[in-house]
Amino acid sequence: MRFAPAFEGALLEILRTRDLVAVAVVSVLFYAFYYPAPYAHQVVEGLPIVIVDADRSAVSRAIVRNLGASHEVEIAADVPDMAAARALVRSRQAEGILLIPRDLGPALVEGRPGGGIAVWLNGAYLLRAEAVGKTIGAAIGATLEGRLSGLARSAAVPVTPVVTRPLFNTTQGYRDYIFPAVANIILQQTLLFSVARLIAERRRTGRWQRGAFLGVWAACTTIGTLAGLFYFGLIYWLQDIPHGGNIPALLLTVPIFAATVSALAMTIGSLVRSGDDALKLLIPTSIPFVFLSGFAWPLFAMPDWVQAIAWMIPVTPATHIFVPLNQMGASLGEVRGALAVLVLQLAVFGSAAAYRLR
């Protein structure tokens, strides 16, 4: 079968077959708008905390006022002791406790031990605990800096401000962190599902023709490339996600990624009996691939055998290529390690698919 008819036939079959177009096109469109929507506010707001103010001084009141002015936390209650505060946390009416001890102000001025402020956080929800902890820390720091800065100059109390500025994701928003990484999972899985089902169904119904391999592979790569450029171009722009850091490099690497995923999917499709079997095999892989891609937890902090598995999946090098290129403006040289892995995967999966289907 010639290249052009095979290419055209695969494209039309994907676009005309309800099951395939639902996965390859409709799902890509749906997730592009659905997934960023819950995180549109970027940061958590209004997390309830409880105050135990045993000092009742001007300093403690200033700390509470600063906390009340923040958007991230909301003072749910001001209770007289820790027992009442713990009861509110246990009943999930508060995410954290701020204990301001008695004689805080004089202890800070005199540098006496025991003058610290205690914070208890509900560590069961890591993101909430981090937000509450950072907000309380910022409120305490701002209050003490304002109160003690004059004293430091006169009494040699060291006050050294620490200013933290993010180099990338400058809003420190959750959506800007998670969506660029999850988008790679969406692009891989939708292409993987649709192409594996296409090949498996053609083989099951006897419609697979020898010699159609290159045309079908090119058609599937085209679908994947258009989906990638749609996300990294239009969707990132519409969602106001940092993008376009290195467009020429993206134009080179997105087709390589699409061709690699397509080759892997064609190999899988050649090994199963039907399209349903392909989906049964691949659907459970989505969640493990999210964790193996290395954005939720650093790859280098995982056991060696887990890292080895992770680097066999196209989305892992893709995440380490597309996030730096899109969000950080990295050069190809700076992502050459991950790009080399992706090219190696392309050679391996492409050879396997060709061996099975030509």
Q: What is the pLDDT of residue 114?
A: 60
Of residues 313 and 170, the one with the higher pLDDT is 313
Q: Whole-structure pTM over 0.85, yes or no?
A: no
Residues 200 and 96 both lie in one domain: no
How many domains, in total, are found in the chain?
Answer: 2
Of residues 355 and 170, the one with the higher pLDDT is 355
pLDDT 10s digits, 21-42 = 999 999 999 999 988 888 877 7
Residues 241 and 102 both lie in one domain: no
Q: Please report which residue ranges of 171-303 form alpha helices under DSSP H.
A: 174-204, 213-229, 236-238, 247-271, 275-282, 286-292
Within a domain: 311: yes
Distance CA 7, CA 105 (A): 76
Q: Measure the N-to-C terminal CA separation of the chain; round to a whole number of Å.
A: 11
Most confident of 28-32, 127-131, 149-153, 208-212: 28-32
Q: Over 80: is that where the pLDDT of 158 sits?
A: no
Within a domain: 155: no
Residues 195 and 268 both lie in one domain: yes
Query: Which domain, by its residues, includes 251?
Result: 3-39+173-357
Distance CA 105, CA 294 (A): 45
Q: What is the pLDDT of residue 296?
A: 81
Q: What is the pLDDT of residue 248?
A: 93
Residues 307 and 352 both lie in one domain: yes
Residues 208 and 123 both lie in one domain: no
Within a domain: 273: yes
Distance CA 222, CA 207 (A): 21
